Structure 1
Amino acid sequence: MDTEMDTAELGEKIVKVLKGIYDPEIPVDIYELGLIYDVMVNTDNEVKILMTLTSPNCPVAESLPREVEEKITKIDGVKSTEVEITFDPPWSKDLMSEEAKLELGML
């Protein structure tokens, strides 16, 4: 019996964890906010997350990526996690999900 998880299943678990991490200034999770640009999982279950912040001067610029890395690394089956911050393209409200916009009264 194969107990190895496939990368798609692991990807879903990662998204679930990301949806539990909130920007401290906005009552919406970082996934729905559109701060997560990409989640890559290779066959060795090494995870790389490409994310941004709402602004380069974001007060959680240090702590948020570290929180993401720590919580993803704790997922059963994840071998390692690397979080890369990018501002290309810069974050904008257009990246937010409909759910996030609704939550913030923007729809």
Structure 2
Amino acid sequence: MNLRDQIEDVLKTVYDPEIPVNIWELGLIYEIRINDDNRVGITMTLTAPACPVAGDIVREVDEKVKAVEGVTDCDVTLTFEPAWNRDMMSEEAKLELGFM
């Protein structure tokens, strides 16, 4: 399994405590960048700008990605552009949350 796949797998273990779907399936991860030295940059969003657990989710992403073997460092950038909406969720997430 390559490094990108490992990072995607670990992101699927991070959940917003208020929603029973992981952040990957929710479509909260906008970009994963891996530099030549395996420093990882993640651009992500939240379901709402006023999310009370924003710091916890960002910290968990940072810690879990840094723990992936081969990753030298991780920088997580939180953005609200474009704003998240339900269309960004995977089909699996929509089914889980009853949006289909």
Counterpart of 1:29, as a letter, is: N
Map 1:37-56 to 2 at 5 A.
37-56=30-49
What TM-score comes out, normalization by structure 2 length? 0.97
Q: Tell me what 1:3 maps to.
A: none
Deviations 1:21-72 (A, max 9, x none): 1110110000000000011111100000000011110011111101100000
Question: Structure 1 CA distance, aligned partners of 2:88 and 2:53?
Answer: 19
Q: Per-residue deviation at 1:100?
A: 0.2
Match for 1:34: what amino acid?
Answer: G
Structure 1 runs (4+) greater than 3 angstroms displaced? none
Secondary structure, aligned partner of 1:37: strand
User: Number of paired residues?
Assistant: 100
Residue 105 of structure 1 deviates from its aligned partner by 1.1
Matches within 5 A, 1:1-107: 9-107=2-100
Q: Which stretches in structure 2 are left out of the alignment for 5+ residues?
A: none
Counterpart for residue 4 of structure 1: none
User: What is the CA–CA distance in structure 2 between the aligned matches of 1:12 and 1:28, rounded to whole Å?
Assistant: 19
Give identity over the alignment, percent. Answer: 56
Alpha-carbon RMSD: 1.0
TM-score scaled by length of structure 1: 0.91
Structure 1 stretches lacking a partner, 5+ long: 1-7
